[in-house]
Amino acid sequence: MLTLVLALVGVFLVTPAQAADDPAPAPVLLVGVTGVRWDDVTTLTTPALWSMSREGSIGLVAARSVASRSCPADGWLAVSTGTRAADVGVDDGTCRTLRDPGESGQVPGWEEYVAAADAESYGATAGLLGDALAAAGSAVTGIGPGAAIALADTAGFPVGTHEALPTTSTGITQAVRDALGTSRLVVVDAGSLRDPGYATASRPSVPQPTETVPGELTEPTPPDVSTPDAIVEPSRALQAQAIDERVGAAIAGAQRSGATVLVVSLADSGRTALQLAAATGLAPDGDEYVDSLLTSGSTRQPGLIQTVDVTPTLLAGIGLDNSAAAFSGAEILPGPPTGTATARLAELLDIQRHATMVTRVSSDYSTRLVLIQAVLFIAAAIILSRTGRSDRRPLRPALRVLHVAALALAAAPVASFLTNTIPWWRAGTPVTAFWWVLLGWIAAITALALVGPWRRNLLGPAGVVAGVTVAVLVVTACTGSTLIIDSPMGAHRLLAARFYGMSNQAFALLTAGGLLLAVAIADPLLRKGRRTLATVAVAALGLVLVVVDGAPGLGSDFGGPPALILAFAMLTIVVSGRRVSWRWIGLIALVGAVVVGGFAVLDWLRPAADRTHLGRFFATVLDGGLWDVVERKIAVNLRVLTSWRYLVTAIGGIALTWLVVVGGRPRRGALMGQGPLAGLTSAVPLLRPAIAAITAALTVGFLMNDSGIVVPATGIALAVPCLVAAAAQWRLGAPEGDVAPAAGELAADQPPTSGGSAEASARGPRSA
């Protein structure tokens, strides 16, 4: 008993003393720059940044803001708001030269920053970080004009202490050392690097009147040449050297404090590119920034962070709550230790080159794909609608060419993802290398579709192409989306739209390919009278794709699961021998909503740092930001709705599908029923319900995703060439062009007679 009493006394006496002796968390120093990339860093010209690449954790920054090209003000506003924000645009496209607060103490141009944030749909609140710091009573210091923006409150006045950036390295070192002695957070603006032709320009702090009072003279605002941001036209190397001197001076001022140091390039230099980031000290999770690549929960990619990740990292670093729904970023953390410093830097430069080069080929790829599709659609309409025997010239050679060309075109989308398996961007002529790699994959997939026992089945070759597409997308979703990131039809790092999971174009291909694959599997089973197995196969495939597409950490797709559930449920009902009614559709829609909501809630229940954008979206809804998201998606949909690339594919694909499926459907006494494609839908009774399911899925995807018409156009890019290949193969197997009698037509919910062979399926029904 005496021992217990002494122990309790010891707890009460010793614990407070120990608690008092516990050291406070180290302060945080953010050195912000803009326009600096890792290819600007060398041993001799930028020794400070080079040393950080040796000693700390390094990464790349996706600095995209509201527009594709970000200005210095945009980067600092992202720190202030915790989400995407931008300065007011001007007609000449120049970026604003940043200035320190004047006599009033307010950040110059603050009213314009607030107006620009209110005009956008990202829910940005200029001054959110400053208000959080003021509410917590945190001692902070800002040095330089960008720091004033980052640390301003909602009224535009910097919280804590603000100083102008000293003009000498010694002055910067002393200012940072003094600030870290009194402040938990110190932010330094070390300047901007600008590409030639993209120099910043001064703007008046308040809008100038459009009219003047009669007799009153107005004087032009003199250019601001007092800050290092107003760059004339020096080379990148000279600018980088000057910025590195400031960065090195700031780091020197932090050496004795043990502070966590973040060096982040927050915006572009004029031309869009991935920017530089480096860190030393303790990360918010307690690990140390050393010998690793930086990452964050918003990108889930090694070596890649976003500008919006800086705000939650700063708050967590000084022990404040960073879980606000308004923050679209996540904490910047070190990844696992990786190799040598030289290897890490080489990996980042390789990623940077890949991200830049894919933007040079993706536009040409999309344009050429659309033009070739247009040619195929026209050729298919002409060749497939011709009457006469298909075992004679000139129709038979044309059908063979059409069959192979359609399969090759159907393979083009998945081949664009597979190009990432071969590092074409490292070649001396990367654009040429990309096209050779792409053509090589197209040839390999097409050859695979044309060999093997499945080639005699009507849907065999098309099913192989669809199966390869589905398999590639499923595997890459389960292994970190490595093939989707920076592929021509995938998610680009520079666009900063999605860094993991299933992109909208990948979802469209997964949906169309999955339904075509389901038909290719179910049709032979139905012909053998194995309806139950066919039904289970379709349902199981749909379940797998829903989980892969929607589960957090895999596809993490919000708009995809409802479309997949609807489409596969419709097809499963038809395969089971039942009819699809409106009651069924309503029940399916309810199930889809429950599944998607369940994915989002489960993700939201995880810690904020571990959430994907599903959980972040649910948090946004709870915070009242649903309308901002909906408004932004509608705006993007309307913007891409008139893109000729997607309109050509969508309209042409729909017209050709109508010709093949509707125009070839046998009807007693109807002119269309006597055409050369009459009997095709009887040869494959599941063809029409499959097209209906694909149409429903792509329509839902069009309505629920912010890519709009891109979703149906991408799905059509796979589905319609596969349909053309099947139609050409059917014509080749029915040389006389005979059609099934109308009395023998099979309804969509009726199985074909059992015992039919795969070869009979390929040739189609023959008249009695």
| Residue 381: how many other CB atoms lie within 10 Å | 17
Query: Hey, which residues does 264 pair with through a beta bridge?
Result: 32, 277
What is the predicted pLDDT for the residue at 228? Answer: 45
Q: Which candidate, 549, 561, 511, 538, places its Cα nearest to that of 717?
A: 511
> In this structure, are residues 126 and 114 in contact, taking their beta carbons and an 8 Å threshold?
yes
Please state, in angstroms and as integers, the Cα–Cα distance from residue 126 to each residue in 18, 74, 151, 630, following that order. 41, 11, 10, 21
- Crossing angle of helices 395-418 and 341-384, in 10° steps, is 160
- Report pLDDT digits (tens) over 429-454: 999 999 999 999 999 999 999 997 88
| Residue 65: how many other CB atoms lie within 10 Å | 27
d(CA 106, CA 19): 40
In the chain, what are the helix, strand and coil shares in percent, each to the nearest 5? 55, 10, 35
- HEC-encoded secondary structure of 495-543: CCCCCCCCCHHHHHHHHHHHHHHHHHHHHHHHHCCCHHHHHHHHHHHHH
d(CA 234, CA 514): 55
Instruction: Burial-class residue 603 by CB neighbours within 10 Å (0-12, 13-18, 19+).
Output: buried
What is the predicted pLDDT for the residue at 39? Answer: 94
d(CA 592, CA 597): 8
What is the predicted pLDDT for the residue at 551? Answer: 80
Helices and strands in the chain: count of H runs, count of E runs: 24, 11
d(CA 171, CA 521): 73
Pairing of strands 332-337, 292-296: antiparallel
Q: Which candidate, 613, 610, 625, 540, places its Cα nearest to that of 575?
A: 540
d(CA 65, CA 518): 41
Q: Longest C-alpha distance within the chain, in Å?
A: 108
Residue 394: cis peptide before it, omega within 30 degrees of 0: yes
What is the predicted pLDDT for the residue at 147? Answer: 96
What is the predicted pLDDT for the residue at 640? Answer: 58
- HEC-encoded secondary structure of 155-168: CCCECCEEECCCCC
Query: Hey, which residues does 265 pair with through a beta bridge?
Result: 33
CA dihedral (669, 674, 675, 679) in degrees, to 10, reads 110
Return phi, psi of residue 268, to 5°.
-75, 165
- Sequence letter at residue 316: A
Q: What CATH number does the domain located at 25-209+216-338 have? A: 3.40.720.10
**Cα 103–chain centre separation:** 44
Would you list the DSSP string of 238-295? HHHHHHHHHHHHHHHHHTTTT-EEEEEE-S-SSS---EEEEEEEE-TTS-EE-SEEEE
Question: Which 8-state DSSP code applies to residue 121?
Answer: S
| Residue 19: how many other CB atoms lie within 10 Å | 8
| Residue 396: how many other CB atoms lie within 10 Å | 15
230 in helix, strand or coil? coil
Would you list the DSSP string of 332-343? EEEEEE-S-HHH
Residue with tokens 């705000």: 311
Query: Hey, which residues does 186 pair with through a beta bridge?
Result: 29, 141
Q: Which candidate, 105, 73, 528, places its Cα nearest to that of 307?
A: 73
What does the angle CA 570 – CA 576 – CA 578 come to, to the nearest 5 degrees?
70
Q: Kindly list the domain boundaries of the chain, sorted by start residue.
A: 25-209+216-338, 352-737
> In this structure, are residues 83 and 370 in contact, taking their beta carbons and an 8 Å threshold?
no
Q: Which candidate, 11, 759, 728, places its Cα nearest to that of 386?
A: 728
- Sequence letter at residue 306: Q
Q: Which candidate, 381, 271, 327, 338, places its Cα nearest to that of 660?
A: 381
d(CA 754, CA 328): 56
Q: Which residues of the chain have pLDDT under 70?
A: 1-24, 121, 205-233, 324-326, 387-392, 592, 596-597, 599-600, 602-679, 705-708, 734-768
Return phi, psi of residue 118, to 5°.
-65, -30
Q: Which candidate, 503, 64, 513, 25, places its Cα nearest to that of 285?
A: 25
What is the predicted pLDDT for the residue at 96? Answer: 93
What is the predicted pLDDT for the residue at 406? Answer: 93
Would you list the DSSP string of 579-631? ---HHHHHHHHHHHHHHHHHHHHHHHTS-GGG--HHHHHHHHHHTT-HHHHHH
